[in-house]
Protein backbone atom coordinates (compact mmCIF):
# COMPACT_ATOMS: atom_id res chain seq x y z
CA UNK A 1 0.00 0.00 0.00
CA UNK A 2 1.28 3.49 -0.80
CA UNK A 3 2.41 5.68 2.07
CA UNK A 4 0.05 8.25 3.44
CA UNK A 5 1.24 11.17 5.49
CA UNK A 6 -1.16 13.26 7.56
CA UNK A 7 -4.59 12.44 6.14
CA UNK A 8 -5.78 15.94 6.97
CA UNK A 9 -3.26 17.63 4.65
CA UNK A 10 -3.61 17.66 0.90
CA UNK A 11 0.07 18.15 0.10
CA UNK A 12 3.25 17.22 1.92
CA UNK A 13 4.98 20.58 2.30
CA UNK A 14 7.98 18.95 4.01
CA UNK A 15 9.12 17.52 0.66
CA UNK A 16 10.19 19.21 -2.60
CA UNK A 17 7.50 20.49 -4.95
CA UNK A 18 5.12 17.64 -5.75
CA UNK A 19 4.08 16.69 -9.25
CA UNK A 20 0.33 16.36 -9.67
CA UNK A 21 -1.94 15.00 -12.39
CA UNK A 22 -5.18 16.92 -12.87
CA UNK A 23 -8.48 15.46 -14.06
CA UNK A 24 -11.19 17.64 -15.56
CA UNK A 25 -14.09 15.84 -17.23
CA UNK A 26 -16.77 17.51 -19.31
CA UNK A 27 -20.36 16.62 -18.44
CA UNK A 28 -21.77 19.03 -21.04
CA UNK A 29 -20.70 22.00 -18.91
CA UNK A 30 -21.13 25.27 -20.80
CA UNK A 31 -18.51 26.87 -18.53
CA UNK A 32 -16.01 24.06 -19.03
CA UNK A 33 -13.12 26.28 -20.22
CA UNK A 34 -13.57 28.89 -17.48
CA UNK A 35 -13.84 26.14 -14.87
CA UNK A 36 -10.60 24.58 -16.10
CA UNK A 37 -8.71 27.87 -15.91
CA UNK A 38 -9.95 28.37 -12.37
CA UNK A 39 -8.93 24.78 -11.53
CA UNK A 40 -5.39 25.47 -12.77
CA UNK A 41 -5.21 28.66 -10.70
CA UNK A 42 -6.36 26.77 -7.61
CA UNK A 43 -3.66 24.13 -8.06
CA UNK A 44 -1.00 26.76 -8.77
CA UNK A 45 -1.97 28.37 -5.46
CA UNK A 46 -0.69 25.27 -3.65
CA UNK A 47 2.75 25.48 -5.23
CA UNK A 48 2.40 22.03 -6.80
CA UNK A 49 3.80 21.30 -10.27
CA UNK A 50 1.19 20.30 -12.84
CA UNK A 51 2.54 17.29 -14.74
CA UNK A 52 -0.53 16.56 -16.86
CA UNK A 53 -4.13 17.67 -17.38
CA UNK A 54 -6.38 14.73 -18.29
CA UNK A 55 -9.61 15.49 -20.16
CA UNK A 56 -12.61 13.40 -21.04
CA UNK A 57 -16.32 13.59 -21.84
CA UNK A 58 -19.03 11.63 -20.09
CA UNK A 59 -22.79 11.78 -19.77
CA UNK A 60 -22.65 10.84 -16.10
CA UNK A 61 -20.00 9.86 -13.53
CA UNK A 62 -19.02 6.22 -13.12
CA UNK A 63 -20.30 4.93 -9.78
CA UNK A 64 -17.04 3.16 -8.90
CA UNK A 65 -14.25 5.40 -10.25
CA UNK A 66 -16.13 8.59 -11.30
CA UNK A 67 -14.18 8.33 -14.60
CA UNK A 68 -14.49 5.30 -16.84
CA UNK A 69 -12.06 2.38 -16.46
CA UNK A 70 -10.26 3.32 -19.69
CA UNK A 71 -9.77 6.88 -18.47
CA UNK A 72 -8.53 5.62 -15.10
CA UNK A 73 -5.93 3.48 -16.89
CA UNK A 74 -4.83 6.60 -18.81
CA UNK A 75 -4.52 8.54 -15.55
CA UNK A 76 -2.44 5.72 -14.05
CA UNK A 77 -0.05 5.86 -17.00
CA UNK A 78 0.46 9.60 -16.50
CA UNK A 79 1.00 9.08 -12.77
CA UNK A 80 3.71 6.49 -13.46
CA UNK A 81 5.36 8.57 -16.19
CA UNK A 82 5.56 11.73 -14.07
CA UNK A 83 6.05 10.06 -10.69
CA UNK A 84 3.09 12.16 -9.50
CA UNK A 85 2.33 12.11 -5.78
CA UNK A 86 -1.27 13.29 -6.11
CA UNK A 87 -4.15 13.14 -8.58
CA UNK A 88 -6.63 16.01 -8.24
CA UNK A 89 -10.15 15.89 -9.66
CA UNK A 90 -11.97 19.13 -10.44
CA UNK A 91 -15.11 17.38 -9.23
CA UNK A 92 -16.65 16.08 -6.04
CA UNK A 93 -15.92 12.42 -5.33
CA UNK A 94 -17.69 10.13 -2.93
CA UNK A 95 -15.57 8.49 -0.20
CA UNK A 96 -15.83 5.13 -1.98
CA UNK A 97 -14.76 6.66 -5.31
CA UNK A 98 -11.70 8.24 -3.67
CA UNK A 99 -10.87 4.92 -2.00
CA UNK A 100 -11.26 2.96 -5.24
CA UNK A 101 -9.19 5.45 -7.22
CA UNK A 102 -6.37 5.44 -4.67
CA UNK A 103 -6.22 1.64 -4.73
CA UNK A 104 -6.14 1.67 -8.54
CA UNK A 105 -3.73 4.57 -9.02
CA UNK A 106 -1.51 3.86 -5.99
CA UNK A 107 -1.28 7.52 -5.04
CA UNK A 108 -3.29 10.12 -3.19
CA UNK A 109 -6.52 11.30 -4.78
CA UNK A 110 -8.03 14.66 -3.88
CA UNK A 111 -11.40 16.05 -4.92
CA UNK A 112 -12.18 19.73 -5.49
CA UNK A 113 -13.34 20.27 -1.90
CA UNK A 114 -10.11 18.84 -0.50
CA UNK A 115 -8.11 21.15 -2.75
CA UNK A 116 -10.01 24.26 -1.66
CA UNK A 117 -9.73 23.26 2.01
CA UNK A 118 -5.97 22.90 1.59
CA UNK A 119 -5.70 26.40 0.11
CA UNK A 120 -7.80 27.86 2.91
CA UNK A 121 -5.54 26.15 5.46
CA UNK A 122 -2.50 27.78 3.84
CA UNK A 123 -4.09 31.24 3.73
CA UNK A 124 -5.61 31.45 7.23
CA UNK A 125 -3.63 33.83 9.43
CA UNK A 126 -5.84 34.78 12.38
CA UNK A 127 -6.73 32.47 15.26
CA UNK A 128 -10.37 32.57 14.18
CA UNK A 129 -9.52 31.78 10.56
CA UNK A 130 -7.42 28.78 11.56
CA UNK A 131 -10.21 27.47 13.80
CA UNK A 132 -12.74 27.82 11.00
CA UNK A 133 -10.55 26.04 8.46
CA UNK A 134 -9.72 23.19 10.84
CA UNK A 135 -13.41 22.70 11.60
CA UNK A 136 -14.23 22.50 7.89
CA UNK A 137 -11.34 20.08 7.30
CA UNK A 138 -12.39 17.78 10.13
CA UNK A 139 -16.03 17.77 9.04
CA UNK A 140 -14.87 16.78 5.57
CA UNK A 141 -12.52 14.15 6.98
CA UNK A 142 -15.20 12.65 9.22
CA UNK A 143 -17.07 11.34 6.15
CA UNK A 144 -13.87 9.78 4.79
CA UNK A 145 -12.29 8.38 7.92
CA UNK A 146 -12.33 4.82 6.61
CA UNK A 147 -10.27 5.87 3.58
CA UNK A 148 -6.66 4.76 3.91
CA UNK A 149 -7.10 3.81 7.56
CA UNK A 150 -7.73 0.07 7.03
CA UNK A 151 -4.49 -0.79 8.85
CA UNK A 152 -6.02 0.68 12.01
CA UNK A 153 -8.89 -1.76 12.52
CA UNK A 154 -6.95 -4.08 14.83
CA UNK A 155 -8.43 -4.55 18.31
CA UNK A 156 -5.51 -3.14 20.31
CA UNK A 157 -5.85 -0.94 23.34
CA UNK A 158 -4.34 2.53 23.12
CA UNK A 159 -3.08 3.73 26.51
CA UNK A 160 -5.38 6.42 27.82
CA UNK A 161 -7.25 6.75 24.52
CA UNK A 162 -9.17 3.67 23.52
CA UNK A 163 -12.17 2.21 25.25
CA UNK A 164 -12.58 -1.52 25.94
CA UNK A 165 -12.87 -3.48 22.70
CA UNK A 166 -12.78 -0.28 20.63
CA UNK A 167 -11.23 -0.48 17.17
CA UNK A 168 -8.75 2.18 16.09
CA UNK A 169 -11.34 3.44 13.62
CA UNK A 170 -13.88 3.87 16.41
CA UNK A 171 -11.26 5.69 18.47
CA UNK A 172 -10.43 7.98 15.59
CA UNK A 173 -14.08 8.81 15.09
CA UNK A 174 -14.58 9.51 18.79
CA UNK A 175 -11.49 11.74 19.03
CA UNK A 176 -12.48 13.50 15.83
CA UNK A 177 -15.93 14.17 17.25
CA UNK A 178 -14.41 15.56 20.43
CA UNK A 179 -12.14 17.90 18.47
CA UNK A 180 -15.04 19.13 16.30
CA UNK A 181 -17.07 19.79 19.46
CA UNK A 182 -14.13 21.73 20.96
CA UNK A 183 -13.69 23.83 17.80
CA UNK A 184 -17.39 24.66 17.69
CA UNK A 185 -17.24 25.77 21.33
CA UNK A 186 -14.24 28.03 20.64
CA UNK A 187 -15.90 29.51 17.56
CA UNK A 188 -19.09 30.15 19.53
CA UNK A 189 -17.03 32.29 21.91
CA UNK A 190 -15.44 34.14 18.96
CA UNK A 191 -18.86 34.63 17.39
CA UNK A 192 -20.16 36.07 20.66
CA UNK A 193 -17.30 38.58 20.71
CA UNK A 194 -18.01 39.57 17.10
CA UNK A 195 -21.69 39.96 17.89
CA UNK A 196 -20.86 42.30 20.77
CA UNK A 197 -18.84 44.45 18.36
CA UNK A 198 -21.73 44.50 15.89
CA UNK A 199 -24.21 45.49 18.58
CA UNK A 200 -21.91 48.31 19.66
CA UNK A 201 -21.76 49.60 16.07
CA UNK A 202 -25.53 49.32 15.74
CA UNK A 203 -26.05 51.28 18.97
CA UNK A 204 -23.70 53.95 17.66
CA UNK A 205 -25.64 53.88 14.38
CA UNK A 206 -22.50 53.12 12.33
CA UNK A 207 -23.46 51.44 9.03
CA UNK A 208 -21.25 48.65 7.69
CA UNK A 209 -20.39 48.44 3.98
CA UNK A 210 -19.17 44.96 3.07
CA UNK A 211 -17.10 44.08 0.00
CA UNK A 212 -18.24 40.82 -1.56
CA UNK A 213 -17.46 39.06 -4.79
CA UNK A 214 -15.82 36.16 -6.51
CA UNK A 215 -12.26 35.43 -5.43
CA UNK A 216 -9.48 37.42 -7.11
CA UNK A 217 -11.74 40.26 -8.26
CA UNK A 218 -9.62 42.93 -6.53
CA UNK A 219 -11.66 43.40 -3.34
CA UNK A 220 -8.62 43.81 -1.09
CA UNK A 221 -6.98 46.24 -3.52
CA UNK A 222 -10.19 48.28 -3.55
CA UNK A 223 -10.38 48.08 0.25
CA UNK A 224 -6.81 49.38 0.54
CA UNK A 225 -7.52 52.18 -1.93
CA UNK A 226 -10.65 53.29 -0.06
CA UNK A 227 -9.21 53.06 3.44
CA UNK A 228 -5.49 53.66 2.80
CA UNK A 229 -4.87 50.36 4.60
CA UNK A 230 -2.31 47.70 3.79
CA UNK A 231 -4.39 44.53 3.79
CA UNK A 232 -2.60 41.72 1.96
CA UNK A 233 -3.64 41.79 -1.70
CA UNK A 234 -2.31 39.49 -4.40
CA UNK A 235 -3.31 38.31 -7.86
CA UNK A 236 -4.22 34.81 -6.73
CA UNK A 237 -7.24 32.96 -5.46
CA UNK A 238 -8.20 33.36 -1.79
CA UNK A 239 -5.47 35.87 -0.94
CA UNK A 240 -7.84 37.16 1.78
CA UNK A 241 -9.48 34.84 4.31
CA UNK A 242 -9.64 36.82 7.51
CA UNK A 243 -12.16 39.70 7.55
CA UNK A 244 -10.75 43.19 8.03
CA UNK A 245 -12.76 46.20 9.18
CA UNK A 246 -11.71 49.85 8.86
CA UNK A 247 -13.45 53.12 9.68
CA UNK A 248 -14.27 55.81 7.13
CA UNK A 249 -14.60 59.01 9.15
CA UNK A 250 -16.81 62.06 8.69
CA UNK A 251 -14.81 64.93 10.13
CA UNK A 252 -14.42 63.94 13.78
CA UNK A 253 -17.35 61.53 13.79
CA UNK A 254 -17.32 57.86 12.83
CA UNK A 255 -19.30 57.54 9.61
CA UNK A 256 -18.89 54.13 8.03
CA UNK A 257 -17.23 50.78 8.62
CA UNK A 258 -15.88 49.02 5.53
CA UNK A 259 -15.38 45.23 5.70
CA UNK A 260 -13.16 43.16 3.41
CA UNK A 261 -14.31 39.53 3.34
CA UNK A 262 -13.33 36.16 1.91
CA UNK A 263 -13.96 35.71 -1.81
CA UNK A 264 -16.43 33.15 -3.13
CA UNK A 265 -15.92 30.50 -5.78
CA UNK A 266 -17.90 28.02 -7.89
CA UNK A 267 -19.22 25.13 -5.82
CA UNK A 268 -17.92 26.56 -2.55
CA UNK A 269 -17.90 23.59 -0.13
CA UNK A 270 -20.86 23.71 2.23
CA UNK A 271 -18.61 22.81 5.19
CA UNK A 272 -16.59 25.95 4.49
CA UNK A 273 -19.67 28.15 4.32
CA UNK A 274 -20.92 26.67 7.59
CA UNK A 275 -17.53 26.91 9.32
CA UNK A 276 -17.01 30.51 8.21
CA UNK A 277 -20.46 31.55 9.38
CA UNK A 278 -19.08 33.89 12.06
CA UNK A 279 -16.93 35.65 9.46
CA UNK A 280 -19.81 35.84 6.99
CA UNK A 281 -21.95 37.50 9.66
CA UNK A 282 -20.22 40.74 8.66
CA UNK A 283 -21.83 40.38 5.25
CA UNK A 284 -25.24 39.37 6.57
CA UNK A 285 -25.45 42.33 8.96
CA UNK A 286 -24.14 44.93 6.47
CA UNK A 287 -26.20 47.96 5.44
CA UNK A 288 -24.82 47.79 1.89
CA UNK A 289 -22.89 45.26 -0.18
CA UNK A 290 -20.36 46.38 -2.78
CA UNK A 291 -20.37 43.43 -5.19
CA UNK A 292 -16.97 43.59 -6.90
CA UNK A 293 -16.64 42.04 -10.37
CA UNK A 294 -14.05 42.18 -13.13
CA UNK A 295 -15.37 44.57 -15.75
CA UNK A 296 -13.94 42.70 -18.75
CA UNK A 297 -14.59 39.12 -17.63
CA UNK A 298 -16.47 37.13 -20.29
CA UNK A 299 -18.23 35.11 -17.57
CA UNK A 300 -19.01 38.11 -15.37
CA UNK A 301 -22.73 37.35 -15.09
CA UNK A 302 -22.05 33.71 -14.25
CA UNK A 303 -19.61 34.64 -11.48
CA UNK A 304 -22.07 37.17 -10.07
CA UNK A 305 -24.70 34.44 -10.03
CA UNK A 306 -22.34 32.14 -8.10
CA UNK A 307 -21.76 34.86 -5.50
CA UNK A 308 -25.48 35.58 -5.19
CA UNK A 309 -26.12 31.88 -4.57
CA UNK A 310 -23.76 31.94 -1.57
CA UNK A 311 -25.32 35.20 -0.36
CA UNK A 312 -28.69 33.45 -0.47
CA UNK A 313 -27.25 30.50 1.46
CA UNK A 314 -26.05 32.79 4.27
CA UNK A 315 -29.29 34.84 4.27
CA UNK A 316 -27.59 37.97 2.93
CA UNK A 317 -29.47 38.14 -0.38
CA UNK A 318 -31.83 40.84 0.92
CA UNK A 319 -29.00 43.30 1.68
CA UNK A 320 -28.90 46.14 -0.92
CA UNK A 321 -26.14 45.81 -3.51
CA UNK A 322 -24.12 48.13 -5.71
CA UNK A 323 -22.17 46.44 -8.50
CA UNK A 324 -18.53 47.59 -8.70
CA UNK A 325 -17.03 46.83 -12.11
CA UNK A 326 -13.33 46.80 -11.27
CA UNK A 327 -10.18 46.60 -13.43
CA UNK A 328 -11.35 49.00 -16.16
CA UNK A 329 -7.64 49.73 -16.69
CA UNK A 330 -7.52 46.40 -18.53
CA UNK A 331 -10.16 47.57 -21.02
CA UNK A 332 -9.64 49.77 -24.06
CA UNK A 333 -11.40 53.14 -24.13
CA UNK A 334 -13.44 52.54 -20.98
CA UNK A 335 -13.75 55.43 -18.59
CA UNK A 336 -14.92 55.51 -15.00
CA UNK A 337 -18.65 56.16 -14.69
CA UNK A 338 -21.79 55.38 -12.72
CA UNK A 339 -25.03 53.82 -13.97
CA UNK A 340 -28.39 54.74 -12.48
CA UNK A 341 -31.66 52.83 -12.42
CA UNK A 342 -35.06 54.19 -13.48
CA UNK A 343 -35.49 55.78 -10.03
CA UNK A 344 -32.22 57.67 -10.42
CA UNK A 345 -30.31 55.59 -7.87
CA UNK A 346 -26.76 54.45 -8.61
CA UNK A 347 -26.68 50.67 -9.01
CA UNK A 348 -23.32 50.20 -10.76
CA UNK A 349 -19.96 51.99 -10.78
CA UNK A 350 -17.01 51.42 -13.14
CA UNK A 351 -13.52 51.96 -11.72
CA UNK A 352 -9.97 50.71 -11.32
CA UNK A 353 -8.80 49.99 -7.79
CA UNK A 354 -5.30 49.51 -9.19
CA UNK A 355 -4.96 52.99 -10.73
CA UNK A 356 -7.47 54.80 -8.54
CA UNK A 357 -9.61 55.91 -11.48
CA UNK A 358 -13.25 56.12 -10.41
CA UNK A 359 -12.61 55.88 -6.66
CA UNK A 360 -14.17 59.31 -6.15
CA UNK A 361 -17.29 58.04 -7.92
CA UNK A 362 -17.53 55.18 -5.43
CA UNK A 363 -17.26 57.68 -2.59
CA UNK A 364 -20.18 59.57 -4.16
CA UNK A 365 -22.14 56.32 -4.15
CA UNK A 366 -21.57 55.91 -0.43
CA UNK A 367 -22.53 59.52 0.19
CA UNK A 368 -25.83 58.99 -1.67
CA UNK A 369 -26.63 55.79 0.19
CA UNK A 370 -25.71 57.29 3.56
CA UNK A 371 -26.60 61.00 3.20
CA UNK A 372 -26.14 61.74 6.89
CA UNK A 373 -22.48 60.79 6.43
CA UNK A 374 -21.65 63.43 3.85
CA UNK A 375 -18.00 64.03 2.99
CA UNK A 376 -15.78 61.67 4.87
CA UNK A 377 -12.09 61.45 5.48
CA UNK A 378 -10.09 58.29 6.00
CA UNK A 379 -8.89 56.72 9.24
CA UNK A 380 -6.63 53.70 9.38
Please report the DSSP string for 271-296 in residue order: HHHHHTHHHHHHHHT-SEEEEEEETT
For 165-186, the pLDDT digits (tens) are 556 667 777 888 888 899 889 8
Q: What is the pTM of this model?
A: 0.73
Q: How confident is the model at residue 61 (pLDDT cuts 50, 70, 90)?
A: very high
For 138-159, the pLDDT digits (tens) are 888 887 765 444 443 443 344 4
Give dist(CA 68, CA 338) in Å, integer.
51
Q: Cα 266 vs. chain centroid, distance in angstroms?
A: 9
- Predicted confidence at residue 187, as pLDDT, reads 84
Domains by residue range for the chain, with CATH = 19-120 (3.40.50.11060), 125-183 (no CATH), 205-378 (3.40.50.300)
Closest CA to 210 of 319, 367, 295: 319
Give dist(CA 241, CA 233) in Å, integer.
11
For 12-25, the pLDDT digits (tens) are 555 556 899 999 99
Query: What are the phi and psi torsion angles at 254 (to 5°)?
Result: -65, 130
For 276-330, the pLDDT digits (tens) are 666 677 788 889 999 999 999 888 898 899 889 888 888 889 999 999 999 999 9
Amino acid sequence: MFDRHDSNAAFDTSKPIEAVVLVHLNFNDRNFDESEQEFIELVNSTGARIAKMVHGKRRAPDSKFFAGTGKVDEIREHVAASDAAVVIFNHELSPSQERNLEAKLQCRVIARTGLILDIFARRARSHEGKLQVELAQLKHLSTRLVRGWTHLVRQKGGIGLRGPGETQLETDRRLLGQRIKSLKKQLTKVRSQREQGRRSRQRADIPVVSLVGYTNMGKSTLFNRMTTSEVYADDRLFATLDPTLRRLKLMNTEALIMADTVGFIRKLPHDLVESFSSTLEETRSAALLLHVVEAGASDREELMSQVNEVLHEIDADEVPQVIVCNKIDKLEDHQARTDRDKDGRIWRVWLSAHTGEGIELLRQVLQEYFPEQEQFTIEN
